[in-house]
Amino acid sequence: MVDDKRRRLLDAALKVFAERGFHGTTVPEVAAAAGVATGTLYHYFEHKQQLVNEVYRDAKLRLRGTLLDGLPDPDLDKPGAAQAWFAELWRRLVTYARAEPYAFRFLEMQDHVEYLDAESRQIELATLTPMFSVAKRVHDRAGGPPTEVLLALVWGAFVGLVKASRLGYLRIDDAGLVEAGDIAWRLFEREATKAIKKPPKRG
């Protein structure tokens, strides 16, 4: 019951923050969206800033869960394993963006830095690191641009797709989103292909 109200507040806050941004959102607005009185919000969160941080962590941890829970590390010696791993991740991203559009939008906002605390930033890193280390292994076999660059391109591509969809620049269904993953894979492809086909040439 207590947790119920806290949950409702987090969900309502996520939604309005995603729509209007942190500064564009009023505390009573959040409370109203959660169906509680303003004072009640302050029973659960010390101040607006603590609220955003908890909303952020909450959303980010769910993202992390969706992306990483039960995701096996690819056996990179098997042909196609890297691509399968990539496809699975992309599919999970699609799942998250579809299931939690507000969370996805909120997490991609630009002005977080200003109010996020150390704990929140720590979670950000904890989400990226596992993907990064696999990508790095895939990638190191090949050469080419730094892994960070590839990941930034891929992540950005996905975000761009979702954003364009939200703004109405394109209409896309889940199948379309998954298909787009095949295209995004090309960013990795040549490197990964080299990695598998040409290790002998390197030794």
Binding site for DNA (CB under 7 A): 1-2, 5, 25-28, 36-40, 42-44, 46-49
Q: Which residues in this chain contact its own copies in the complex, by CB under 8 A? A: 20-24, 105, 108-111, 113-114, 128, 144-146, 148-161, 163-165, 167, 169-170, 172, 176, 179-180, 183-184, 186-187, 189-190
**Residue whose pair of structure tokens reads 């963006």 in the numeric block:** 97
Q: How far from chain centre, in Å, is Cα 13?
A: 18
Shortest separation between residue 105's beta carbon and DNA, angstroms:
20
Which of 30, 48, 46, 49 has its CA nearest to residue 38?
30
Could you tell me if 3 and 45 are in contact, meaning their C-beta atoms sit under 8 angstroms apart? no
The percent helix, strand, coil of the chain (3-state, each to 5) is 75, 0, 25
CB nearer DNA, residue 44 or residue 158: 44
Binds 107, which of DNA, its own copies, none (CB < 5 to 8 A, cut-off by type)?
Answer: none
Q: At its nearest, how many Å lie between DNA and the CB of residue 111?
A: 14
Q: In the bound complex, what is the minimum distance in angstroms from residue 49's beta carbon to its own copies?
A: 12
Question: Cβ(188)–Cβ(82) under 8 Å?
Answer: yes
Asked if 63 and 32 count as a contact pair (C-beta separation under 8 A), the reply is: no
Separation between Cα atoms, residue 69 and residue 64, nearest integer Å: 8
- Nearest distance, CB of residue 167 and its own copies, angstroms: 7
In the list its own copies, DNA, none, the entry touching 42 (Cβ below 5 to 8 angstroms by class) is DNA
Of 49 and 193, CB closest to DNA: 49
Q: Please choose which of its own copies, DNA, none residue 90 contacts, taking the beta carbon within 5 to 8 angstroms, the exact cut-off set by kind.
A: none
**Residue (8 or 193) nearer to its own copies, CB:** 193
Find out whether 62 and 100 touch, Cβ atoms under 8 Å: yes
Tell me the one-letter amino acid at 101: P
